Structure 1
């Protein structure tokens, strides 16, 4: 009889049924919503995120006018993919109707770079090429900035490349160019398909790549071009961070044996695409070209690439740091208050399976935080961007899916921070210590990495190895291998891709929650 009684008692213990876990979830939700201070703090975190974000956007003004009249800064050109682009180069071109192509021999590529002045008042210009200086052949939809194109080019330090529509880059043969070792370049059109080739002797050709430019008009522009982005230098700041500066450069390509195929009627035309015009009508750092017989010399300034500089739409979300601190406080209190008042024993009696009880508490807290943070980040992002534009800022455009990822990703970071803080509260059982620890793990690394405190390399490692890695979900402008830039946290670029950074934060939350479950099982409440 006693054996039967023992067997029955064993099976009456709480099982891992869905109904049992649902009861735990309802209990934790009821517990959370009945404590007014916790609810108010979560709402306050959302409101603070919105109000501080919109306030910072309201104070961010820009003007590109001259003199007393303020003029909103013009938006950057937009490429075929909707991204902001630099489209500034010198173009010697003719119209091409229907199919055809261009073949040239590039015999020389030289340039100039302005360096910091050694003698005050005396310009320090030295010969040389920056790594992504470009000279070559191009077929472009029109001379309008941002229009579709494909180009085969020689670069300053990356060999021959075929690029199209700003974001696409295919490597050809490495090396340089000289009169003793010229480079032959060819670009052909067949309908919407453009194909690039290169050769060392003009006889044996190697295909570099193919680009399909959907919707290309029947008549396009074909010709020679040159351009050169600024010389980027990154120096150590006074406080230990980094300071980036770009100085004027130009590149010159010397071409001969220029051959055109197809219907290319009309004379050669020179256009300085995107040249900056001063208020008095003069051109700032203009390009130039000259022709002597069959030899062309083309000099250009600028770049043909996605632009990574300028105000970004996620800027108002810097207010999330303050909201996160409030979330950390309420998450820690959600568990430490039970220890402080002795209510944890009641909680564990109601749910003897301690791991499931803590998991239910974490799930409720995470969902509540996500639900509060999602509208807050959405409002801050969308309304903040409109305010920035209204204040004259030329905010860089980003695709709709990127906007959604930023909003949802930041809300997910709030939820993960809440779960991590809850786990730390369970491990430490003291509110102040848990709040300080969570803030030191989540907020402080981001502040140190994005201000002028740490060297770039240290800042990048900090955002790889700490829960602050999840802030990578804020980044709206990607890094491009073929665009030289200051890709550092202080400039808004994170070392991990958005979802990878969020995965690091999730890993910390899961690890801390697992350790908290182990401690809860092994120690008395």
Structure 2
């Protein structure tokens, strides 16, 4: 194609695009309905946030829930473990031999008031060595540890995890663990015999002070069980666990001073002020026993930032109606012939119509999602809800992505309208394809596997764009749609919706060229 013909083609497409925009804005009902979709999204989102209150107890008094603990990278974290440590000034190394790792798990009571505690370790129970900026919760750290079922790991700053060798710990097969500090760089090692060492990984903790805390720790997240609900969905429950690590051959090299100190980091208190599930430690000669509960990991419990945007579903239905009417009205009134006379290349005409509608929808939706997300979040926080924090980049992705979801859904609905040429049939088909799978998958109706399948293969996959908290492989969690977790990454989910819209539009253009208007 020559440059002249290419330019002429672009000018022709621009003319078609302007014509479709003119059609849309001159029909008052379409403009009002699109504005209503944006307004409904905002009003329902803010109304929902206004009715969502939360409080926490401080003894006998109800108070606003404290904000989530935030780690070095800005994520909400949980930092609860038992720590036996001493100060380390400047560079140095801590080396231990872990000879045993045991634990307890509380299972459902066998009878009313009869506790059922069994021996065992949950998969991500942890015991090992740690260098931490301070004993303050949320402060930077790096750790080398053995786990219940995932072998040796090196983790740092809550979200980072590197696998070492698999396998467990026993007196016959102990694990030697080592963590070395050189400036802001910490390097983890493991060994089977204390002589031949294997490097696991390296972490850079920028801004570490000269004096840090080095020592041994133990932690054990709750035991997660997922059972089938009466209605077909799933019910997740988490119960108390603890882990105990037995250490010997403890050696700290470098400028380490002072006696070993025990700290129950993040210890919870019962309403009467007594310790709730405290950890403990003991020392006999050169052998240390450390027992801990809790976890050192991202915190995934609590209301998420995208909660106010649940109102998008209602706005989406209005967008679908407008999108279908934008094309079927021309068939109903016989105006499609005029449109095709103005643009004889039928496929190009349909693409121009879809692009115009998509741009209009995005322009109306973006302010609505921005206002709902921002003000709805402020209302939730003012009502005592401790919203899990997310980065500005994630916030922008959610707001822009949900507006893009509405635009792509509009294009898909328009394509269905062009294919079916019947308003009611096209609206129902679009709602069944986009809205219904999401509602069914995110309520306790289907088993988790079926819900995940729906959100992989239907246009409803696009709702993954709003997920603010990612899945972490080293955190045991109920990663199910009912808990706000989608089976596809955010942009991949939106891409599934985009593919459906493109395929439907291509099929509609193909049929439009083949059959009479």
TM-score range, shorter chain: over 0.9
Structure 1 residue 69, shift from structure 2 partner: 3.7
Aligned to 2:116: 124
The Cα offsets for residues 462-500 of structure 1, whole Å up to 9 and x where unpaired, read as 000000000000100000000010001000000000100
Count of aligned pairs:
513
* Distance (Å, rounded) in 1 between the aligned partners of 2:9 and 2:217: 70
* Distance (Å, rounded) in 2 between the aligned partners of 1:443 and 1:506: 15
Aligned to 2:405: 413
Aligned to 1:284, which of 267, 273, 276?
Answer: 276
Aligned to 2:434, which of 442, 455, 464?
Answer: 442
Structure 1 residue 180, shift from structure 2 partner: 1.1
Query: In the TM superposition, what are the counterparts of 1:234-383 in structure 2 within 5 Å?
Result: 234-383=226-375
SS at match of 1:379: helix
Aligned to 2:508: 516
* Distance (Å, rounded) in 1 between the aligned partners of 2:45 and 2:154: 42
Asked whether the equivalents of residues 93 and 222 of structure 1 are also in contact (C-alpha less than 8 Å), the reply is: yes
Asked whether the equivalents of residues 139 and 223 of structure 1 are also in contact (C-alpha less than 8 Å), the reply is: yes
Aligned to 1:42, which of 31, 34, 58?
Answer: 34
Aligned to 2:101: 109
Aligned to 1:391: 383
The Cα offsets for residues 121-159 of structure 1, whole Å up to 9 and x where unpaired, read as 100000000000000000000001110000000000000
* Distance (Å, rounded) in 1 between the aligned partners of 2:125 and 2:62: 34
Which stretch shifts more, 318-327 or 342-351?
Answer: 342-351
Aligned to 2:68: 76
Does residue 100 (structure 1) correspond to residue 86 (structure 2)? The answer is no
Asked whether the equivalents of residues 59 and 271 of structure 2 are also in contact (C-alpha less than 8 Å), the reply is: no
* Distance (Å, rounded) in 1 between the aligned partners of 2:237 and 2:118: 17
SS at match of 2:263: strand
Asked whether the equivalents of residues 362 and 422 of structure 1 are also in contact (C-alpha less than 8 Å), the reply is: yes
SS at match of 2:96: strand
Asked whether the equivalents of residues 100 and 261 of structure 1 are also in contact (C-alpha less than 8 Å), the reply is: yes
Aligned to 2:458, which of 440, 463, 466?
Answer: 466
* Distance (Å, rounded) in 1 between the aligned partners of 2:305 and 2:6: 50
Which stretch shifts more, 16-25 or 467-476?
Answer: 16-25
Aligned to 1:32, which of 24, 30, 34?
Answer: 24
Q: Normalising to structure 1: TM-score of the pair?
A: 0.96
* Distance (Å, rounded) in 2 between the aligned partners of 1:130 and 1:375: 46
Asked whether the equivalents of residues 42 and 371 of structure 2 are also in contact (C-alpha less than 8 Å), the reply is: yes
Structure 1 residue 67, shift from structure 2 partner: 7.0
Does residue 190 (structure 1) correspond to residue 182 (structure 2)? The answer is yes
Query: In the TM superposition, what are the counterparts of 1:129-148 in structure 2 within 5 Å?
Result: 129-148=121-140
* Distance (Å, rounded) in 1 between the aligned partners of 2:162 and 2:175: 17
* Distance (Å, rounded) in 1 between the aligned partners of 2:197 and 2:14: 69
* Distance (Å, rounded) in 2 between the aligned partners of 1:334 and 1:14: 29
Structure 1 residue 446, shift from structure 2 partner: 0.1
Asked whether the equivalents of residues 313 and 384 of structure 1 are also in contact (C-alpha less than 8 Å), the reply is: no
Structure 1 residue 16, shift from structure 2 partner: 6.0
Which stretch shifts more, 302-311 or 427-436?
Answer: 302-311
* Distance (Å, rounded) in 2 between the aligned partners of 1:266 and 1:503: 57
SS at match of 2:56: coil
The Cα offsets for residues 70-122 of structure 1, whole Å up to 9 and x where unpaired, read as 31111221111000001000000000000111111111000000001112110
Query: In the TM superposition, what are the counterparts of 1:201-220 in structure 2 within 5 Å?
Result: 201-220=193-212
Structure 1 residue 65, shift from structure 2 partner: 1.9
RMSD of aligned alpha carbons: 1.2
The Cα offsets for residues 223-278 of structure 1, whole Å up to 9 and x where unpaired, read as 00000000000011111001111000000000011111011111111100001112
Structure 1 residue 414, shift from structure 2 partner: 0.3
* Distance (Å, rounded) in 2 between the aligned partners of 1:27 and 1:205: 72
* Distance (Å, rounded) in 2 between the aligned partners of 1:351 and 1:370: 25
Asked whether the equivalents of residues 95 and 222 of structure 1 are also in contact (C-alpha less than 8 Å), the reply is: yes
In structure 2, runs of 5+ residues without a counterpart are none
Asked whether the equivalents of residues 59 and 272 of structure 2 are also in contact (C-alpha less than 8 Å), the reply is: no
Aligned to 1:493, which of 485, 491, 499?
Answer: 485
* Distance (Å, rounded) in 1 between the aligned partners of 2:399 and 2:64: 27
Query: In the TM superposition, what are the counterparts of 1:129-168 in structure 2 within 5 Å?
Result: 129-168=121-160
* Distance (Å, rounded) in 2 between the aligned partners of 1:52 and 1:239: 27
Asked whether the equivalents of residues 98 and 174 of structure 2 are also in contact (C-alpha less than 8 Å), the reply is: yes
Runs of 4+ in 1 over 3 A off after TM superposition: 13-16, 66-69
Asked whether the equivalents of residues 60 and 271 of structure 2 are also in contact (C-alpha less than 8 Å), the reply is: no
SS at match of 2:63: coil
Q: Normalising to structure 2: TM-score of the pair?
A: 0.98
Structure 1 residue 509, shift from structure 2 partner: 0.2
* Distance (Å, rounded) in 1 between the aligned partners of 2:60 and 2:310: 31
Aligned to 2:418, which of 408, 414, 426?
Answer: 426
Asked whether the equivalents of residues 14 and 353 of structure 1 are also in contact (C-alpha less than 8 Å), the reply is: no
